[in-house]
Amino acid sequence: MSDSDATLKKFRSDVNQWMRDNVPVDPGFLLPLSFLEVGTEQQLDFLREWQNKVWRAGFLGMHWPSEYGGQGADPAYQAIVDRELQRYNAPILFNTIGLNWVGPLLLDIGSKDSQAKYIKGILSGDEIWCQGFSEPDHGSDLGSVQTRAVRDGDDYLINGSKIWTTLGNFADHMILLARTNTAVERKYDGLSFFLAPMKIPGVDAHPIRKVTGEYGFNQIFFTDARIPAETLMREEGQGWGVAMKTLEYERGVSAGQASGHWMVSIQMDDAVDQLRTYQRDGEPLLADPIARDDTIKLIMEAKASALAGSRMRIGRLTSDYPMGLPLSSKYRWTEYARRMKLFTASMQGAHSALYVGDEEACQGGFWQRAYFSNFGATIGGGTSEVQANIIAEHVLGLPK
Amino acid sequence: MTSVIGDLSIALSEEQGMLLDVARGFVADKAPIDVVRGQLETASGFDTQIWDDMVSLGWTGIALPERVGGSAMGMGSVVPVVESLGEGLLGTPLINTTLAGQLLLRAASSDAEPWLQRIAEGSIATVALLDSGDWGASNTLTEIADDGVLRGRKVMVGDALVADIFLVLCQQGGLPALAVVERGALSDRALTANTLIDLTKRSANVDFTGVKAALICSGDALVAALRDFRLLGALLIAAEATGSAARCLKVLVDYLKTRKQFGKLIGSYQALKHPTVDIYCGMEDSRSFIYHAATVLSDEPLSHDAEVACRMAKAQATDVMSFAGDRSVQFHGGIGFTWDCDSTLFIRRAQWSAQAFGDAIHHRKRLGELLLGD
């Protein structure tokens, strides 16, 4: 049942007013471009306070059950909030792994106990979540994870290492994919899925510095870390299915996310505004026919991807490859974004060489940093190359 | 300030959906690839029975008003039909006839109605537009004298050998003018068939010198109608190319799924897989653009959004078609290099579509003016 247009309109205007009054202005230090690069305590404190404020205002988890801190409303309300957050260029809602992957997963297939225990903390930002899937030797090939979980009485003992763990140094909990059985025929059948505590002995987080110069990722080392057996989700050996379900939320194939506002939105219009300020050969850059042509190609890419979102809902226009548009969405958007940011960072003449920290850098080095940072999107959540394999195999039916 | 991304609407009406279903079925039923191949070296390039069936289905009148015998569903409803024809690589005069109808409809007053009626009834019509290979030329050397006699030669007039009605872009005292010539007024010697790269298409150079024509309209009304005609032409070629790219992709994927080398199906090699995915994504982008254009255009003069949509559709569809045809020949290996492989048809279609109504660079240049300013 959806609410009337008038009710939604009123809500939009309330949100609008609230944003106007509450979206913080420049905090005086660099804020992360996405949840992937929360690097300092200062950033964390600021973002935690902001998410908590949005939640207390009643604008987060709009369609999550009210008994766990949600608003019990129609998903349309969250879409309105997200749009307004973006429009006001509000700071990100940093607890993204909780809000967008773990929360929907628990609400979908988690036990009542786990919902009661975790959902509220996800929304308030009091309990931070991270994801322990990738390993140093197994990035894209998740089925091969080697981190061991061995049953020991009422606990499991965890040994091994996870990498690229966003928020791992701050997190209270991890969704952990670990191997409980090495003697199975199919490697996938030996995996189990845990809601593992992080602030316990035997868990060490080592922050990793990124190409941007910032932090946000970690390598996590488990050394006889003891986690309660009740943190196992489903049964032993069913971890692969749960992990795949999680990836559906991560890749946006399934709905239910508490908020999509997890990155600073950088649109084609921002790029065009910036390109208009550049000079080349003593004239505006956009008077140069080649620069114009490249700009138009990028605008077309952005428009085509946005149009795919409109067409996805029309069955007759997607009948030859019904899952094609959703399954190619991450591939097209993240690759387009990389090219768009690279182009905008590269058209500055000598200023293209300046980085964040230099007073003369165009927009404070924003585009250079945004370009580097975008690799988080083309690599994380399944690299573009793996995405291309998925499209080839699951959409076109090509052999593995 | 408005966004460079602009309108993002796509809708499919019940009528468009039905036309899509019927056209897909028609092409699958009437035009398997051996039927298409059977027409490659004939003079007309199409089977008259298939054309008669298309006329009976009312396809020549889809976008014409009811008062001339059309069904008034708009150009947005021609898109799914032409996309389907493209999927079948089926050469027919439908695109040229439809576009000629639009030029007449948009340019002229009630004077044009008898011709529109004949078009709706199935007379083949075409527009004699080009003096040279330059799609961007805005003037013509062909003149019409006060007594209605033409002087000049047009090149690459689509379906000229079978057309009943020619709309000739000419000038009168420096102003653009549109004149109608009946096939009966032309001698056979006036027509010289072109040897086209795409063997499913036909065109000819036509010498109109000394031919008496009926002046239909001139001046500003014609300029506006010509702009829309060129945009709609770009859109229909884009729709056709999108269908052809989708078919090319299917043929390619089927081959990658069956051909083995070094003991493995070649479709398992990422060097082939990933470019094939890029063909797929590019085809989907073209389809989004053509149906977006089909959604935002109308019988009125085309809006800014509609112009952007038509130009993006053409630039995208023919670029992906070129890539698809090119990679299809390459990925088929030795067999791809042969006449008997259907990749031959696709790469030739690709080269033809790329130029028709202006290539991708032509349209991106104009998109620059529309979206980035001068």
Task: Give pLDDT tens digits for A72-113.
Answer: 999 889 999 999 998 898 999 999 999 999 999 999 999 999
Write the residue in B274, B280, B312 that is nearest to A300 by C-beta: B312
Q: How confident is residue A350, by pLDDT bands cut at 50, 70 and 90?
A: very high
**pLDDT tens across B161-194, in order?**
999 999 999 999 999 999 999 999 999 999 999 9
Q: What is the pLDDT of residue A176?
A: 98
With beta carbons under 8 A apart, name residues in chain B contacting A392: 267, 273-274, 276-277
- B84: part of which helix (H) or strand (E)? helix B78-87
User: Could you give the count of Cα atoms lying within 13 Å of B54 in the half-sphere of its Cβ?
Assistant: 34
A304 and B6 in contact by Cβ < 8 A? no
Mean of the per-residue pLDDT values for chain B? 96
CA-nearest residue of chain B to A299?
B5
B372 and A295 in contact by Cβ < 8 A? yes
Cβ-based neighbours of B73, under 8 Å, separated by 6 or more: B15, B16, B19, B62, B63
Q: What is the pLDDT of residue A152?
A: 97
Whether B27 is in a domain gets the answer no
Whether B267 is in a domain gets the answer yes
Percent residues over pLDDT 90 in chain B: 96
| Cβ neighbours around A26 below 10 Å, total | 7
Using alpha carbons, select from B27, B25, B21, B22 the residue that is nearest to residue B88: B27
3-state helix, strand, coil in chain A (%, to 5): 50, 15, 35
Four-way CATH pick for A268-395: 3.30.1330.50, 3.40.50.10790, 1.20.140.10, 3.90.226.10: 1.20.140.10
A332 and B364 in contact by Cβ < 8 A? no
Q: How confident is residue A256, by pLDDT bands cut at 50, 70 and 90?
A: confident
Whether B278 is in a domain gets the answer yes
With beta carbons under 8 A apart, name residues in chain A contacting B368: 289, 292-293, 295-296
A to B CB pairs, distance under 8 Å: 138
Number of domains in chain B: 1
Q: How far apart are CA A342 and CA A368, in angstroms?
A: 7
**pLDDT tens across B6-55, in order?**
999 999 999 999 999 999 999 999 999 999 999 999 999 999 999 999 99
CA triple B258-B263-B269, angle to 5 deg: 65
Query: Model pTM?
Result: 0.90
Only one residue has tokens 């548009």, namely A325
Using alpha carbons, select from A32, A172, A194, A23 the residue that is nearest to residue A98: A172
**pLDDT tens across A163-206, in order?**
999 999 999 999 999 999 999 999 999 999 999 999 999 999 99
Q: How confident is residue A214, by pLDDT bands cut at 50, 70 and 90?
A: very high
Whether residue B213 is predicted with pLDDT greater than 80 in this model: the reply is: yes
Q: What is the pLDDT of residue A75?
A: 87
Q: What is the pLDDT of residue A2?
A: 55
With beta carbons under 8 A apart, name residues in chain B contacting A399: 257, 264-265, 267-268
Are the C-beta atoms of residues A286 and A295 closer than 8 Å to each other? yes
Write the residue in A304, A388, A398 that is nearest to B288 by C-beta: A304
Percent residues over pLDDT 70 in chain B: 100
CA-nearest residue of chain B to A286?
B372
Distances, alpha carbon A61 to alpha carbons A91, A325, B81, B338, in Å? 17, 27, 45, 60
| Host domain of residue B256 | 226-372
CA-nearest residue of chain A to B273?
A392
Domain with CATH 2.40.110.10 in chain A: 130-250
The alpha carbon of residue A394 is apart from the nearest alpha carbon of chain B, in Å, by 11
The alpha carbon of residue A124 is apart from the nearest alpha carbon of chain B, in Å, by 35
| 3-state class (DSSP) for residue B21 | helix
**What torsion do the CA atoms of B345, B347, B353, B358 make, to the nearest 10 degrees?**
-160
CA B255 to chain centre: 28
Q: What is the pLDDT of residue A54?
A: 97
- Among chain A, residues having any CB pair with chain B shorter than 8 Å are 267-269, 272, 286, 289, 292-293, 295-297, 299-311, 314, 316-317, 320-321, 324-325, 328, 331-332, 385, 388-389, 391-392, 395-400
Are the C-beta atoms of residues A35 and A166 closer than 8 Å to each other? yes
Q: What is the pLDDT of residue A257?
A: 85
Whether B291 is in a domain gets the answer yes
Q: What is the pLDDT of residue B1?
A: 53
A292 and B372 in contact by Cβ < 8 A? yes
Are the C-beta atoms of residues B105 and B265 closer than 8 Å to each other? no
Give me the CATH number covering residue B302: 1.20.140.10
Cβ-based neighbours of B173, under 8 Å, separated by 6 or more: none
Whether B244 is in a domain gets the answer yes
Write the residue in A295, A321, A388 that is nearest to B273 by C-beta: A388
Tokens, residue A64: 């999550």
CATH of domain A130-250: 2.40.110.10
Amino acid in the structure at residue A305: S
With beta carbons under 8 A apart, name residues in chain A contacting B246: 320
What value does the mean pLDDT take over residues A133-155? 90
State the CATH class of domain A5-127. mainly alpha
Q: How confident is residue A262, by pLDDT bands cut at 50, 70 and 90?
A: confident
What value does the mean pLDDT take over residues B297-315? 96
Whether B171 is in a domain gets the answer no
ipTM of the complex: 0.97
| Cβ neighbours around B294 below 10 Å, total | 27
With beta carbons under 8 A apart, name residues in chain A contacting B4: 268-269, 272, 299
Q: What is the pLDDT of residue B139?
A: 87
B368 and A325 in contact by Cβ < 8 A? no
Tokens, residue A337: 């974004």
The number of helices, as runs of H, and strands, as runs of E, in chain B is 11, 11
**pLDDT tens across A276-332, in order?**
999 999 999 999 999 999 999 999 999 999 999 999 999 999 999 999 999 999 999
Cβ-based neighbours of A181, under 8 Å, separated by 6 or more: A189, A190, A236, A237
Domain with CATH 1.20.140.10 in chain A: 268-395
Whether B247 is in a domain gets the answer yes
Q: What is the pLDDT of residue A1?
A: 42
Q: How far apart are CA A188 and CA A179, in angstroms?
A: 9
CA-nearest residue of chain A to B374?
A287
Using alpha carbons, select from B59, B44, B27 the residue that is nearest to residue B200: B44
Q: How far apart are CA B155 and CA A104, in angstroms?
A: 63
* 3-state per-residue secondary structure call for A326-386: HHHHHHHHHHHHHHHHHHHHHCCHHHHHCCCCCCCCHHHHHHHHHHHHCHHHHHCCCCHHH
Q: How confident is residue A261, by pLDDT bands cut at 50, 70 and 90?
A: confident
| 3-state class (DSSP) for residue B35 | helix
Whether B187 is in a domain gets the answer no
| 3-state class (DSSP) for residue B123 | coil
Tokens, residue B88: 């079948």
Annotate B148-168 with DSSP letters as a single string: SBEE-EEEEEETTTT-SEEEE
B289 and A304 in contact by Cβ < 8 A? yes
